[in-house]
Amino acid sequence: MTHKEDSLSEFVRVEVANNVAVVTMTRPQARNALNYAMSSDMAAAFDDLVARSDVSAIVLAAEGPVFSAGMDLKAFARGEKPSIPGRGLAGYTECGLEKPLIAAIDGPALAGGFELALAADMIVASESSSFGLPEVSRGLIAAGGGLLRLSRSVPYGAVMEIALTGERIDAQRAHDLGIVTRLCPSGEAAQAATELAASIARNAPLALRLTKKIVNETVGWVDSDTYAKHRDMATAVFASEDAKEGAAAFAERRTPVWRGV
């Protein structure tokens, strides 16, 4: 029997049915870029869903043609950061979720948007999706754990190409590299991810939770010491003059002038 329940905050819609929750980012006018308020809304939604006994698997999707453009650079230029202290973007990129999380990607997933996907357990992507870490082109580095996760699962040269050029890769390339779990036709990522989540949610909740915990502790997750070192380096870059210039140039739609400091 299907039971469906919906809830809505300013930036997030949550739908629950048949032990599967779909969390949808609802800031398409800003390409679902993450400011602190949106990240906080997402963190609160995930906290609620992890605590609920009627939710066994979670899908993260997005409204509009862009999954997420990452950090809201205009908000960053005003001094705001989207990361939740000690938890990361959307409250989970540093600490993870106890329950299985599937990212459903239709369109570009860039910068922090790509890192949201990489911090999920599986990525279902449509053929029209694309992925990239363009932070270096803005005087920043990928601070949401994306570099750490890519380096654990993708060949060294491919990681360096993605991270140092800042250029996008298409869905097929991402699938070939093992980043994308399943490919689907354009416009069908949310549906395909929900079907995958449903196949997971049919299984025993305790077994699911502990299976994920074992995999994360052996091969999947990033340990706290590594993340702490990464955070220290990222903090220095985010405080740099180049970071300010990159954000300002983006907001003003001009080519940045780098100083190397």
What is the reported pTM?
0.85
pLDDT at 174 over 70: yes
Tens-place pLDDT, residues 63-90 = 999 999 999 988 888 888 899 998 999 9
Tens-place pLDDT, residues 87-129 = 999 999 988 899 999 999 999 999 999 999 999 999 999 999 9
pLDDT at 171 over 90: yes
**Predicted local distance difference test score (pLDDT) of residue 1:** 41
User: Would you call 15 a catalytic residue per the annotation?
Assistant: no
**Predicted local distance difference test score (pLDDT) of residue 221:** 59
User: Which position has the higher pLDDT, 92 or 138?
Assistant: 92
Tens-place pLDDT, residues 229-257 = 666 666 777 788 888 888 888 888 899 88
Q: Which of 10, 80, 115, 167 is catalytic?
A: 115
Tens-place pLDDT, residues 152-170 = 889 999 999 999 999 999 9
Average pLDDT over every residue of 198-208: 94
Distance between CA atoms of 99 and 198, rounded to whole angstroms? 13
CB atoms within 10 A of CB 142: 26
**Predicted local distance difference test score (pLDDT) of residue 90:** 95
Percent of the chain with pLDDT over 90: 66
User: Would you call 161 a catalytic residue per the annotation?
Assistant: no
Average pLDDT over every residue of 50-75: 95
Options 3.20.20.120, 3.40.640.10, 3.90.226.10, 3.40.50.720; CATH for 4-186+196-252 is: 3.90.226.10
Q: Which of 135, 188, 217, 245 is catalytic?
A: 135
Average pLDDT over every residue of 206-211: 92
What is the residue extent of each domain of the chain?
Answer: 4-186+196-252
